[in-house]
Amino acid sequence: MEVQENLAEKLIETYEGLYDAQKQKEQALITREIDKLGSIDEKIVTFYNQALDISKKHELVRPSEQEKSKINELYLKITEIEKSNQSLVEYSLNVINKIFTGIMKIAVAQTSEYDKNGKTNNNEDYGLSSVNEEA
């Protein structure tokens, strides 16, 4: 019986760690701390793998009603924050895509003003012809 309770407690601890890691990811996405995402994602993968290992021993995991309630509550919280994080990632990718598209439009517009030798395609003398004619 002690092994069963221990596994249920371990599963709850794993879900709590997973939830905390997802909250850290959400905060990093909101504050644009992209450099932290790699280590946070590693934590998330570790917690997922731990939960999977415990779940494989499901025949040994027989949580009490209170533990079942806690596990379900944590599962719902994790699912909710994962959806939130997914939306934040999609939004960030859309912003990055729009910025990149704007930069490309500017770069293409500026490069089209020059020929293959790097000289401007505009052969006007920038209004100097009127000065030459008057002189």
Which pair of structure tokens corresponds to residue 30? 């909101």
Q: Is there a contact between 59 and 23 (Cβ–Cβ < 8 Å)?
A: no
Identify the band that residue 106 occupies on the pLDDT scale cut at 50, 70 and 90: confident
Integer Cα distance of 46 and 65 in angstroms: 27
110: containing domain? 2-134
Total domains present in the chain? 1
Q: Is the pLDDT of residue 51 over 80?
A: yes
If you average pLDDT over residues 113-132, what whole number do you get? 59
Whole-number pLDDT of residue 115: 66
Is the model more confident about 122 or about 76? 76
Q: Tell me the three state secondary structure of residue 124.
A: coil
pLDDT in tens, 39-49: 999 999 999 99
Look up the pTM and report it. 0.67
- Compute the average pLDDT of residues 107-119: 67
- 114: DSSP letter: B
C-alpha torsion sign, points 57, 59, 62, 63? positive
